[in-house]
Chain A
Amino acid sequence: DAGITQSPRHKVTETGTPVTLRCHQTENHRYMYWYRQDPGHGLRLIHYSYGVKDTDKGEVSDGYSVSRSKTEDFLLTLESATSSQTSVYFCATQEPGDSEAFFGQGTRLTVV
C-alpha cells in the first residue's frame, strides 16, 4: 500500500464552479497520475506528472489543469465544472522503472 490519500472522497458541485481534488502520497514516488473512470471507458488518463513542476496532458485533459509543487501532492482542478465531468477520479503513483502503479480509493464527483 503506497499510502495514497484522495480528498474529498465525495463531492457534489454546481455547473460552472471551480473544483480542486487533492492527491497526497507518503511513499515519495516520482510519478503521479490522474485518471477518470466512466462506464464503457474504463480508466482514462487526464494528466500526469514525472516530477515537481513537471506535468503533461493525457488523453482527456480538456477542462482540467494540474499542479505539483511538492513531490507528495498532485492537485487536479476543474476550472469550470460541467455535467460531463461527473465521474469517479483516481490518483495513482509510480516509481520510474517499476511496473506497478498504486491507486488511491477514488473521489466521486457529481456536477449538477
Chain B
Amino acid sequence: DQQVKQNSPSLSVQEGRISILNCDYTNSMFDYFLWYKKYPAEGPTFLISISSIKDKNEDGRFTVFLNKSAKHLSLHIVPSQPGDSAVYFCAASERNNDMRFGAGTRLTVKP
C-alpha cells in the first residue's frame, strides 16, 4: 500500500525552462512533506519541505506547492540547470516522524 505516489518515473526538460515534479498522497494524517534529491551512488539529500499549514514554500529556484484538498504537492524548479539532473523523491510524514517515500522521478535537464 503505497501512501505516497510519484506517477511520472522520468521527466526531461530543456535548460532554462521550468521543471514540475508531482506527488500524490493518500494518508490525510500526513502533516509534513519533503523533497529529496539523489545523485547516483550517493544518499538522498534534503531539498525543501512544507508543513500542512502552508500552501507554498520557496527556496531560491525551488518552490513546493501543497494542495491539501487534492492531497497533491508539486516541486517547481525555475530555471532548470543541468546540475539539477537527479532522481527526486517526495516524502511525507506524520508529526515529523517515520517518513514515507514515493518511487522517485528521474529529472534530466538538457543543455
Residues of A within 8 A of B (CB): 4, 31, 33, 35, 40-45, 48, 50, 58-59, 90, 92, 94, 96-106
Contacts and interface: CB of A to CB of B under 8 A. Distances in A.
A97 B42 contact: no
Contact of B32 (A45, A99, A102, A106): A99
A43 B34 contact: no
A31 B36 CA distance: 18
B43 A48 contact: no
Contacts of B16: none
Interface residues of B, number: 26
B6 A103 contact: no
A102 B43 CA distance: 8
- B interface, by DSSP: helix, strand, loop or mixed? strand
B106 to A, nearest CB: 11
Contacts of B29: none
Contacts of B101: 35, 42-44
Contacts of A40: 9, 103
